[in-house]
Structure 1
């Protein structure tokens, strides 16, 4: 009984092994088949944002887009793969400005194949790069000679718009859409750039000199204002000082009058007193300058007489001027 059960188990195990080998065989055959079909060109894949043009016996068949695609080997052929992504073409154009300066402009053209016009993009235009370059040269060499060099830098956006407008109208019929055009570089001749740098440096130096001159002028004006204010205050202080001296003299005369000394005697006494006070103040100074002054009692009297004569003369002149003014009126 046990031998019979063992035999059944061995039989089932063998059958499982054969079934497993048979499964592996099928998988192997499938892989080999796929490899052969791929090698023979029965199917192919198309990447995202790509269009494949199919031809049959050299004649246009259809356009395939992203995904898993089949074709008949030998009969069908992949003629081209066109990218539907945005591409960029840089074109360097050398031309002359209105003021006879040679300049190089770098134009960057961003373009894309229109998805619905893949046929036109492949069959109607042999070399899109050459075609775009020709239009860029034509537009730039027509626009830049109208402008001076300084305006070329200012009007670069207008140049880019003109290039795009010309390209858009021409390339759209061939299945290409112009996304954007940019003037990415403007490069004048080396000597012209050096001259422009010198001009800019001189202009900046001129502006700096003007600012320095303005600053110096402001300092001079402010200094003059300060000096004028100082002199005004100094004169005001001198006037106040003299006013106080006059008040002091008046008070001294009044005090002397109260004790029986008349005005003339009081004035003489004050003059003599100030004269000797001055001599005393000068003697106390520590400076070595030699000053000779009269110090006799007669000197004070002469000084007083001279002062009185000066006052009388000044009063007489003032009266004469008042009379003349009244006669003129």
Structure 2
């Protein structure tokens, strides 16, 4: 009875070991007496106990391998690149992937090292950052050509990180900071120039308006003085007296306006009590002198005009060499 129970127990174990399952997106290699027998896909399967065995399982999902490579650029800067390789086993080539390649990760890593260290030394550091996609495409192309024979399909290759030496990184940061400071200085200089130009234009416009206002003010003052002189002339005051009266009046008006201002910085010299009379006397004297000069100039112009008219006819008195000239003096007669 014990033997029967043992045989039944062994039979159940053998029966259960005859069945096996394969997960989704995977494949199982079945060998019979050590020789390849079949590839089983996902689902429930049966094998002959003791005769058949599961040699291995192959993952058919997309896998990723991260490879970190240190190399140097064309300008002798050492950088570390992180290359992410996404690959999978083609379902139709599970046999090649299992039997032809024992360590696929090592094989892929070797090809990545070879391609990156062949491409990056051709580029300068700045070009590595700008053309990293070109390097990734070169890695993918080389891997596809090499791994297709072993049943692997390279889905994509990505350069996910470029890490230069720390000193080079600091130097690049300083260069970027200096460049940004330069740009900021240029913008500040341009803003300062705009402010200076705007201020100069505003000052020019202010000066123009101020000059126009002064001109208008002087024009109105002159018009007012003319009207004042005309009014004074009508009551019998001549122009000189009227001008002197207006100047003295303005002088005292100015002193009055200065006295009413609390914060005035204007100083009018002279400001003595006899300053008004002195100014009036000086103005009268200047007016008199100017009238005398004007009369002298008119007299001189009249004499010059008379001499020009006397040249148009012959004056017997001018012929001094004529002995019969009655206009010669006694001294000229004696000399002859």
- Find the partner of 1:240 among 216, 228, 234: 216
> 1:279/1:95 Cα in 2 relative to 1: closer, same or farther (>3 Å)?
closer
Query: Are residues 1:264 and 2:244 paired?
Result: no
Q: CA deviation at 1:258?
A: 2.5
- Find the partner of 1:182 among 158, 179, 182: 158
Query: Are residues 1:43 and 2:19 paired?
Result: yes
- Please give the alpha-carbon distance, in whole angstroms, between the structure 2 residues aligned to 1:310 and 1:49: 123
Matches within 5 A, 1:178-217: 178-217=154-193
Q: Does the aligned pair in 2 maintain the 1:38–1:44 contact within 8 Å?
A: no
- Please give the alpha-carbon distance, in whole angstroms, between the structure 1 residues aligned to 2:43 and 2:290: 125
Q: Does the aligned pair in 1 maintain the 2:68–2:82 contact within 8 Å?
A: yes
Deviations 1:81-136 (A, max 9, x none): 00100001111111110000011111100000000000111111121111111110
Question: Residue in 1 aligned with 2:55?
Answer: 79
- Give secondary structure in 1 for the equivalent of 2:88: strand
> 1:265/1:67 Cα in 2 relative to 1: closer, same or farther (>3 Å)?
same
Matches within 5 A, 1:124-203: 124-203=100-179
Q: CA deviation at 1:290?
A: 8.2
- Please give the alpha-carbon distance, in whole angstroms, between the structure 1 residues aligned to 2:74 and 2:143: 24
Q: Does the aligned pair in 1 maintain the 2:26–2:42 contact within 8 Å?
A: yes
Q: CA deviation at 1:305?
A: 4.9
Q: Does the aligned pair in 1 maintain the 2:244–2:284 contact within 8 Å?
A: yes
Query: Are residues 1:299 and 2:279 paired?
Result: yes
Q: TM-score, normalised by structure 1?
A: 0.78
> 1:56/1:300 Cα in 2 relative to 1: closer, same or farther (>3 Å)?
same
> Mean alpha-carbon deviation: is it higher for 201-210 or for 235-244?
201-210
Q: CA deviation at 1:148?
A: 0.4
- Give secondary structure in 1 for the equivalent of 2:275: coil
Q: CA deviation at 1:32?
A: 7.3
Matches within 5 A, 1:314-329: none
Q: TM-score, normalised by structure 2?
A: 0.77
- Please give the alpha-carbon distance, in whole angstroms, between the structure 2 residues aligned to 1:57 and 1:170: 32
> 1:280/1:57 Cα in 2 relative to 1: closer, same or farther (>3 Å)?
closer
> 1:246/1:56 Cα in 2 relative to 1: closer, same or farther (>3 Å)?
same
Q: CA deviation at 1:184?
A: 0.7
- Give secondary structure in 2 for the equivalent of 1:72: coil
> 1:35/1:197 Cα in 2 relative to 1: closer, same or farther (>3 Å)?
farther
Q: Does the aligned pair in 2 maintain the 1:98–1:146 contact within 8 Å?
A: yes
Deviations 1:273-317 (A, max 9, x none): 32333344445555796843352535214135547878999xx9x
- Give secondary structure in 1 for the equivalent of 2:211: helix
- Find the partner of 2:71 among 88, 95, 108: 95
Query: Are residues 1:66 and 2:66 paired?
Result: no
> 1:144/1:309 Cα in 2 relative to 1: closer, same or farther (>3 Å)?
farther
Q: Does the aligned pair in 2 maintain the 1:121–1:176 contact within 8 Å?
A: yes
- Please give the alpha-carbon distance, in whole angstroms, between the structure 2 residues aligned to 1:296 and 1:232: 35
In the alignment, structure 2 segments of 5+ residues that lack a partner are 1-7, 298-336
> 1:59/1:253 Cα in 2 relative to 1: closer, same or farther (>3 Å)?
same
> 1:285/1:89 Cα in 2 relative to 1: closer, same or farther (>3 Å)?
closer
Higher-Rg structure is 2
Q: Does the aligned pair in 1 maintain the 2:244–2:283 contact within 8 Å?
A: no
Deviations 1:27-46 (A, max 9, x none): xxxx979952455x211111
